Amino acid sequence: MKCSRTRIKKKTRASAGRANVRRCSPHLFLIFILAIPLFAQQEPIFQTQSNVVLVPTLVRDRTGEPVYGLQAKSFVIEDNGVEQAVRLDEAAAAEPLSLMIAIQTGRKAEHEFPKIRGLKDMLDPILAQEGSQIAIVTFDSQIQLAQDFTSDAGQVDRALQDLRPGDDGAVILNTVNYCVGLLNKQPEARHRVLLLISEKRDYGSQAAILDHVITLIGASNTTIYSLIFSPAHTSALRRLRAQDTEDVGAPPVDIMALLDLARAAMKKNSSKAIAEQTGGEYELFDSRKNFESRMIDFTNHLHSRYLLSFQPSDPQPGLHRITVHLRQPADNSVLARSTYWARGPGTE
């Protein structure tokens, strides 16, 4: 969510007084000089705040392919159940990309390294776009910036080839907090994306980080994609996929209830909840071929999203629920962020 502030000062009569100084008597002139600081102290300052919520939205047909050619009027966005005026930035697809890739190396992640070995080759189309950059982060119980943002494919390759087994930790929430913080420092005229390659649950993040992560990703314009592996067998992955697609029902509009729901989702499946909150995608992989298929979808979808936005009239501070759908959906499905975080007046 982008915030801009405008400082507005009321005009006083000080300027008019200066024009008439020569006509005043010496005593009035002295009184006027002494009064000038009072004018400055009493000059009221007002602040106005304009919030724009960005909602990158992917529309897919029944075969899973992106749907193009839609207009702003094709979409309906509701903020806590209230329909909003939708805007569409048609020039957004040409913006360069800032991509962070966070790879779990802790616990039994080393068994997954052969499956993701082709990752470096699949990033070439991203780096081919002018201005796009990639950064690499690895994590176990600690977080390491293996490669800062670069457009040099060689540096990215070396960081990915240098993966080493980690300890028994997997601090997913701490890592997301770190990565989104770095992405928020990137220029605004960029797509900000985090690709998280990890297990589904967090192991070792501080308990206090949970609410901060919910707030941070709710207030950020970062889209998070989760590619998930499991140390269990394929049969267990199938059961996991079935469990994760269960319909948990629509949450109530109450802001505190939404926050409680987000906390529960993060604890149950951190990777899935993080992706869904930002409108990213959550996919499981259990083989190298499966991983490469997921990565092809990921790269194809990066610039296939409609950059929708709306300006809430007077949002209450806290977590808000967003729903996005098509006025004429046909057989198409919509993937967009599910929440955003509204800051109160005077907060950064």
pLDDT at 92: 64
Mean pLDDT of the chain: 80
Residue 319: helix, strand or coil by DSSP?
A: strand
pLDDT at 39: 40
Give first-to-last CA distance, the chain, whole Å. 11
User: What φ, ψ does residue 273 adopt, rounded to 5°?
Assistant: -65, -40
- Who contacts 303 (Cβ-Cβ below 8 Å, separation ≥6)? 93, 97, 191
> Residues 191-226: pLDDT tens digits?
899 999 999 999 999 888 988 998 898 888 899 999
pTM of the model: 0.75
Maximum mean pLDDT: which of 31-45, 168-182, 292-306: 168-182
Nearest to 279 by CA among 236, 229, 333, 228: 333
Give the pLDDT mean for 89-116.
90
Between residues 51 and 77, the one the model is more confident about: 77
Long-range pairs for 331-335: beta carbons < 8 A, 24 or more residues apart: 331/61, 331/62, 332/59, 332/60, 332/61, 332/62, 332/67, 333/59, 333/60, 333/62, 334/57, 334/58, 334/59, 334/75, 335/57, 335/58, 335/59, 335/60, 335/279, 335/281
Contact present, 52 and 1 (Cβ < 8 Å): yes
Tokens 């889209």 -> residue: 223
Tokens 């998930």 -> residue: 228
Residue 15 Ramachandran class (φ > 0 left, ψ -120 to 50 alpha, else beta): alpha
